[in-house]
């Protein structure tokens, strides 16, 4: 049985609630930041890109900070978050949902071990040079071994680090690609069910993660009063542009393929893109946040402008690409729940259109207050999602205090 909702067509009664909210948008966004940040470090440790040495340890610390918060959106979304441990104690190996627990646990252990090995000489030095509780902390972190490492031990650690970094590349892709796999396997939803979905999620993860690291690296260098390494910055721009080209191509191919097939689902998807997602898809995702960074980064890579121009264009592009990937996650996850599975109507009385949210939140204060209790506060609302994202950067700051990524000023510009 179906019913008419607000004159927008027929929808099924079980579509009266959107089960995946903004928290499920934030979750794959954070996993993407993890993958992109880890890839930068792996480019240096595995592929020997010496240009990325100044940011290699910082990107690894950032990936660890994001990893500590990636499960929070799912835990807040669950009615009983304590049941999340069941996926580890009673694993269901054929379930993509429960597979996250196993993948996340393995990746966290792998990333933590790599960070520990990279910082092992510094941890031992801090344990020997500090006093009191701080000395105890670093001694425990050094597992009680406070003797200086020999050259042979350092060589062994370096090989193990390279091994972990090599394993971490497919692990990071699997951590984020499985999110796209979950959406791509929902056959009943034609907006999700495409074989390109896992690859689009992986590539967009690389774009957002690299763009975020460019911004964080630049901001950190400004805070500590050290100029950015221009060679490193240019190499990051080249890598970001390369991933953007492939990512944007696949995203366009996906929509073009659905349109070219011209199946019965295209009638509702075309209305979805032109009506509910017109701002976030055509204007924000494709025009402002994809085309402009593509042109700016292309200018940086091909024409090699002066330092200030290169830095400014790369930073602007990075900021736009961070927004682009966020809007892409919104369009996929929220957009896929805006039309009925009957293909005959929209659930527009339920959806949160980003354009309307932006207009409301940046309109006069009185208009904003009327919507505070509806959109900002609550377990599935914007404030919780913003708090989780903020907590990611808090973890990064704490880790950078405990394990400084730039031991000396010259390390940042080497």
pLDDT of residue 381: 72
* pLDDT tens digits for range 75-120: 888 777 777 777 777 777 777 777 777 888 888 899 999 999 999 8
Distance CA 389, CA 66 (A): 9
Question: Residue 345, SS3?
Answer: strand
Distance CA 337, CA 302 (A): 41
Q: What are phi and psi of 70, to 5 degrees?
A: -65, -25
Rg (CA), the chain: 23
Distance of CA 412 to the CA centre of its chain: 24
Residue written as token pair 């796999």: 181
pLDDT of residue 293: 95
Distance CA 260, CA 193 (A): 16
User: Which of 299-324 are b and which e, b meaning 16 or more Cβ less than 10 Å from the residue's Cβ?
Assistant: bbbeeeeeeeebbebbbebbbbbbbb
pLDDT of residue 352: 45
pLDDT of residue 409: 40
pLDDT of residue 321: 95
Structure tokens, 314: 């790369």
Q: Are 185 and 96 in contact (CB under 8 A)?
A: yes
Residue written as token pair 């509910």: 276
pLDDT of residue 14: 57
Dihedral of CA 328/330/333/339: which sign? negative
Which residues are CB-neighbours of 339 under 8 A, at least 6 positions away?
A: 191, 268, 269, 271, 272, 345, 346, 347
Sheet holding 9-11, edge to edge: 3-4, 9-11, 344-345
* Ordered structural domains, the chain, with CATH: 19-333+352-413 (1.20.1630.10)
pLDDT of residue 16: 57
User: Which of 378-410 are b and which e, b meaning 16 or more Cβ less than 10 Å from the residue's Cβ?
Assistant: eeebbebbeebbeebeebbeebbeebbbbeeee
Name the strand (E) or helix (H) holding 368.
helix 365-371
pLDDT in tens, the chain (414 residues): 444 444 455 666 556 556 777 888 898 899 889 989 999 999 998 888 889 999 999 999 999 999 999 888 888 887 777 777 777 777 777 777 777 778 888 888 999 999 999 998 888 888 888 888 888 888 888 888 888 888 888 888 889 998 988 888 888 888 777 778 888 777 777 888 888 888 888 999 999 999 999 999 999 998 888 888 899 999 999 999 999 999 999 999 888 888 887 777 788 888 888 887 888 889 889 999 999 999 999 999 998 888 889 999 999 999 999 999 999 998 888 888 877 777 776 765 444 444 454 455 445 444 444 433 345 666 777 788 888 999 999 999 999 988 888 855 444 434
């Amino acid at each position: 049985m179906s019913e008419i909702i607000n004159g927008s067509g027929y929808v099924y009664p079980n579509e009266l609630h959107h089960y995946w909210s903004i928290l499920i948008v934030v979750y794959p966004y954070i996993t993407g930041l993890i993958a992109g940040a880890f890839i930068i470090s792996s480019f240096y440790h595995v592929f020997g890109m010496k240009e990325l040495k100044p940011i290699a340890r910082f990107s690894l610390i950032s990936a660890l900070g994001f990893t500590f918060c990636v499960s929070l959106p799912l835990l807040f979304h669950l009615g009983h978050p304590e049941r999340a441990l069941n996926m580890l104690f009673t694993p269901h190996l054929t379930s993509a949902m429960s597979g996250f627990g196993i993948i996340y646990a393995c990746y966290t252990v792998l990333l933590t071990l790599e960070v520990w090995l990279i910082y092992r000489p510094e941890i031992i030095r801090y344990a020997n040079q500090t006093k009191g509780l701080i000395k105890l902390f670093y001694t425990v972190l050094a597992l009680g071994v406070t003797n200086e490492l020999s050259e042979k031990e350092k060589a062994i650690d370096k090989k193990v680090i390279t091994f972990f970094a090599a394993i971490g590349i497919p692990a990071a892709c699997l951590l984020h690609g499985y999110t796209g796999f979950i959406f791509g396997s929902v056959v009943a939803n034609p907006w999700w069910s495409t074989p390109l979905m896992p690859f689009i999620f992986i590539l967009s993860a690389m774009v957002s993660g690299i763009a975020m690291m460019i911004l964080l690296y630049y901001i950190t260098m400004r805070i500590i009063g050290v100029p950015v390494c221009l060679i490193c910055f240019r190499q990051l721009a080249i890598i970001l542009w390369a991933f953007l080209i492939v990512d944007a191509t696949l995203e366009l191919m996906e929509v073009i393929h659905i349109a070219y097939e011209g199946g019965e689902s295209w009638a509702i998807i075309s209305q979805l893109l032109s009506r509910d997602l017109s701002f976030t898809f055509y204007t924000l995702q494709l025009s402002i946040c994809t085309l402009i960074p593509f042109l700016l980064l292309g200018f940086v890579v091909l024409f090699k402008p002066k330092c200030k121009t290169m830095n400014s264009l790369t930073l602007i592009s990075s900021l736009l690409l961070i927004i682009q990937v966020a809007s892409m996650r919104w369009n996929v996850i929220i957009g896929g729940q805006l039309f009925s599975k009957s293909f005959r109507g929209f659930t527009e009385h339920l959806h949160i259109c980003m354009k309307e949210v932006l207009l409301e939140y940046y309109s006069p204060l009185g208009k904003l207050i009327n919507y505070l209790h509806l959109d900002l506060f609550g377990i599935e609302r914007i404030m919780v999602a913003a708090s989780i994202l903020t907590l990611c950067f808090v973890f990064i700051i704490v880790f950078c205090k405990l394990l400084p990524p730039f031991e000396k000023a010259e390390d940042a510009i080497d």
